[in-house]
Every structure is written in C-alpha cells, then in structure tokens.
Amino acid sequence: MEQQIAELTAKVAALEEGAGWTTTINMEVYYWWCIAFMFAIHAGFLAYEMGASRKKNVLASGIKNILALAFIIPTFFFFGWWIYLAFPNGFVPDFEAGAAGRPWDMAMGPNLSDNATGVFWGAFALFAATTASILSGSVIERIRLSAFIVLAVVLGSVAWILGASWAWHGSGWLLTEWGWHDFGAAGCVHMIAGFFALGVLMNLGPRIGKFNPDGSANDLSPHNLPFAVFGLMLLIVGFFGFLGGCIIYAGNGQWVSIFGNPTTLSAVAFNTLMCFAGGIMGGWIATRDPFWMMSGALAGIFAAAPGLDLYYPPLAFLLGVAGGAIVPQIDKLLVKFRIDDAVGAVAVHGGGGLFGVLAFGVFAAGYPNTPEGAPDTNFMGQLIGAASMALLGFVPGFGVSWVMKTMGALRIPEKAELMGMDKAKVPVAAYPDGWFDALPAGRAATPAE
C-alpha cells in the first residue's frame, strides 16, 4: 500500500512538473508570435511614412524608418534592458536588480534553464522601436539621417525604457507610491514618444514652404494618401500583437497585467475593438478625412489603453470617439504655433496618450492595485504619472536636438531639401522616369513638391 502511494505521488509530481513546463513553453510561443505581429507595426509605419512623404522624399523617409529598427535592437540589448530592470525606483539604479540585464549575463543569450528572458526582451525591443518610428514620421523631409539615428537611440533605448521602468513595471515607483495604472502603455510609449517628437520639432523647424510670412499654413499633401491610409490600418494589426504583449499568463487559468492585476484576453479584445471603432467614428465626425479617420483609430486605442483590462466596452467606445475627435484639433493648435508635424504624431500619440491616462483617473479611480501597500488607482496618481512621462519625453528630445542644432548637425541643407532628399542622398529612384507624368491629369504640382 505504501509503495502504491509513493508511486502515485511520484506520478502526480511528474504530471505537475509536466504541466508547469507546458505552461512555460506555451508562454514562450505566445510571446514569440506577439513579436511577429508587432513587426506589422513597423511595416505599417514604413508604408504610412513613405505615403505621407512627397514624391521627392519617399525613399529617404523609408530608409530612415528602417534604420531606426536596425539601431534600436542592438542598443536595447547592450543597455536598454538593463535600464528597465535597474531603475524602477527613480534615477538611482538598483545594480542588483539590473544585473540580469547586463549584456554578458547568462540570461542574455541561449540558456536552457531560462525560457522567458529572450521573448520578453524581444517584445520590449519592439516596443522601443515603436517609439522611434513614432518620431520618424513627424520629422520627415528635413532631418539629417545621422541626427535622426542618434535621437532614435536616445528615445528608444534610454528615455522610453526609463519611463517603462517607472510606469510599466510591477515595482515601479509610480505604481507603488501613487497607484498609477496604464495597461496598454499610453504613457510610457505614446506620451513619451509624442512629447519627445514635440521637443525635436521645436528645434528642427518646419519644412520649406509649410508656412507663409503671415503665419498661415500651406498643405504639403502626401504623394500617396491611399498608401498612407493602408499603413495606418496595418499599424492596427500590429497593435494587436503590441497589446497581446501587455498581458502575462500567471498559471491556473489566470492572466495578469504587467502590474499583476488579474484580467483576461477577452476583456482586452472587447475593449480594443470598441475603442478602435469609436476612434474611426470620432475622426470621421471631426474631419471627414480618411487620413484622420485612421489616425483617429489609433488615438481611440490610446485613449482607452490605460484601462483596456478594466473598462466596460461601451465606455471604451466613448473614449475612442472622444480620442478620435480630439486629436485633429490638437494638430490644428500645433500648426498655429508653427509646429510642422508631418504625420500628426504629437497629436495622436502625445495628445491621445495624455487624454487616455487622465481619463483613466476619472473613470476608474478606486480600483485596488495588486502590490501590497500600493494605493488604489486615483486621479492624482495618473496626473503625476502623466507629467513624468511628458517630461521624460520632452526634455531629452528638446535638449539633444538643441545641441545638434547649435552644432549645425540637425537639419539637411536648404539646397538638398528643395531638391529632395532622394536625389541628394539615395542612389536609386522611387519611381520610373516619367511615371508621374503618365498619370491622369489632376492638381498641378507646386514648387514645394
């Protein structure tokens, strides 16, 4: 009898161990495919940015976006991941916690006893690249490639990941001290990237021909609006991978947010689709412009992103409508201040993210946080977090670009800008000779084109 009990106990232990490994492998595969879907974000940004450029700058815009991804991945490996692990308490690093993020640590490479680090690092590296792509679109047609690469690395491998350590970490000080909540990274990804872009644009200046001496603005239209709109829709596909990477399987049938709060993929699916639809409607109501309809879809997601794990779907829908309707007005306000954001990134990501973070403090205050001793969610915590994210974006964006501007290293020469960056910098042509001349007659080209 005792022998049978011992054998049964051993079998149960083996089954439990096997179940544990099955969960581990399933999570590894899950995040692998989240990473794959997140690449659709970058395909979308590429199409969006090239379509939004004028035809003389198409390839230069694409090259810049592609290189952002290429430079972010290795720099995020060498120091970005360490920043995330080492700085949850503020500006003073926790070297013990950060040790696992050093590039020579055994966790940062093939390790049969660690199935998690590589896929989590990969997902965060793609989040980092997303911030650089947000910046990329806003500065098209006038920034030096070398300056952009430096700014992209500062944003993607330093500024945003420091913000993530504070605001998207189970031990981040904004959570443990202020009750901050931001399920979908509206603050640390979108606000930081949007405000970083704002700081850069203030030093970079507008494209030649954008503003008249009296301050009125000219429309420097995209050369291929359908391509840009398609890119925006592809971004939405990628954001399902992005948002899927915001949730962790804790075992025993339970998913949790990165803060440890219980949730489900079902909740995220309900709310993501509802705020996406609301954002399109808001953009359509405000502008009737297909570009702003799809930009509104993104803004709608960011407007509800902090509470995608908690909101009732009709509330997510209404927040989406509001986000989609608000961001075109923010972009118009920036134009009044002679800020030339070529794709509306500051409004969509910075403005949409800010609205979402603050709206959560209004509509979801009082929800208990999981870490012991952490305050419940509250508006003041969201406000302090929003201010922190805005400063983490704007200050380095403005500061680094100002240094480059004073050195004459930020902007391309006027002659190259008028000629077009493709002719000045790219050894091949985007379109065959005469291709545009063969198109049906339409609006005449302006000198700015």
- Give me the pLDDT at residue 445, please: 42
* Residue 241 within a domain: yes
Measured CA to CA, the distance from residue 344 to residue 298 in angstroms comes to: 11
- Give me the pLDDT at residue 112, please: 76
Spatial CA neighbour of 443 closest among 219, 160, 170: 219
* Residue 148 within a domain: yes
State how many domains the chain has: 1
Measured CA to CA, the distance from residue 201 to residue 208 in angstroms comes to: 14
Measured CA to CA, the distance from residue 379 to residue 403 in angstroms comes to: 36
- Give me the pLDDT at residue 377, please: 96
Measured CA to CA, the distance from residue 186 to residue 327 in angstroms comes to: 14
Q: What is the DSSP letter of 368?
A: P
Q: For the chain, how long is the longest CA-to-CA vector? A: 96
Measured CA to CA, the distance from residue 296 to residue 236 in angstroms comes to: 11
* Residue 122 within a domain: yes
Q: Hey, how many other C-beta atoms are within 10 angstroms of the C-beta on 118? A: 18
CATH number at residue 118: 1.10.3430.10
* Residue 243 within a domain: yes
Q: Which domain holds residue 307?
A: 1-213+225-425
What are the mean pLDDT values of the chain's consecutive 10-residue runs (449 residues total)?
A: 67 56 73 90 95 95 96 97 97 95 92 83 94 97 97 98 96 96 96 98 97 92 92 92 86 84 93 98 96 96 97 98 98 96 97 98 94 93 98 98 98 95 88 62 43
Compute φ and ψ for 247, nearest 5 degrees: -125, 145
* Residue 413 within a domain: yes
Give a three-class secondary structure readout of 276-287. Answer: HHHHHHHHHHHH
Identify the burial level of 70 via C-beta atoms within 10 angstroms of its C-beta, where 0-12 means exposed, 13-18 middle and 19 or more buried. Answer: exposed
Measured CA to CA, the distance from residue 122 to residue 200 in angstroms comes to: 27
* Residue 435 within a domain: no
- Give me the pLDDT at residue 151, please: 98
* Residue 282 within a domain: yes
* Residue 437 within a domain: no
**Does an H or E element contain 35, and which?**
helix 2-52
pTM of the model: 0.92
